[in-house]
Amino acid sequence: MRSEAHTSIPVLHLDEFLLVTDKPAGLLSVPAGGEGRQDCLAARIQARWADARIVHRLDAATSGLVLFARGAEMLRRMSLAFEQRIVGKQYVAVVHGHLAQDDGEIDLPLAEDADNRPRQIVDALRGRRALTRYRVLDRQGAGADACSRLELKPVTGRAHQLRVHLLCLGHPIFGDPLYAPPESAARFGRMHLHAARIAFMHPHTRVPMVFDSPAPF
């Protein structure tokens, strides 16, 4: 069932155990340090459903589906499902240039760039394994206007994983404020990365659940 949450955050599913929300780009998932950075998806949802606990996060610049558990036990169960990698996640992105292959894997370890936080870097010594599968959905344009629309499936869930992996392929995401050229962010206004699908087994009913959100770009 789809309803509207307080403060106009779309809620795709609501029951006594879970909520599935659709976060807009530009909104933090959880509060951050600093003045004026307390408004976030978690706070807005908890203003109406006090027992809601965010299970995973999206970068502020990323839009799309975010799962909340209701109560400590449901949070434990769904957090475990994420740790065991039995939750399916699928993203849509638009990147600069045409990828040479129609599909493939990016297997590059990632670590925090200590001198340029919050940026992440590929680091064979300190990095944790990060694996992304991709498929090209469409290619358009030519030259400086060439772009590709991709379906992305992160097998692991490292910080900025999709953004850094695509940068390493030579195809940064449109409008990425950290990893794309500065003119890209100025031109596109928002990052073209959207969490478009989430699939999991309901922790109480054990019924398979799949939710989709069309990319708004």
**Does residue 109 have a cis bond before it (omega within 30 degrees)?**
no
Give, for 185, the enclosing helix (H) or strand (E). helix 182-188
DSSP 8-state symbol, 143: G
Nearest to 20 by CA among 58, 73, 59: 58
Nearest to 91 by CA among 43, 143, 142, 132: 132
Strand, helix or coil for residue 50: coil
59 tagged catalytic: yes
Q: Which of 39, 59, 102, 115 is catalytic?
A: 59
What distance in Å separates the CA atoms of residue 110 and residue 9, rounded to the nearest whole number? 32
DSSP 8-state symbol, 57: -
CB under 8 Å to 95, separation ≥6 — which residues? 147, 148, 150, 166, 171, 172, 173, 174, 192
Between strands 120-122 and 193-201, the pairing is unpaired
DSSP 8-state symbol, 137: E
Among all residues, which ones are annotated catalytic?
Answer: 59
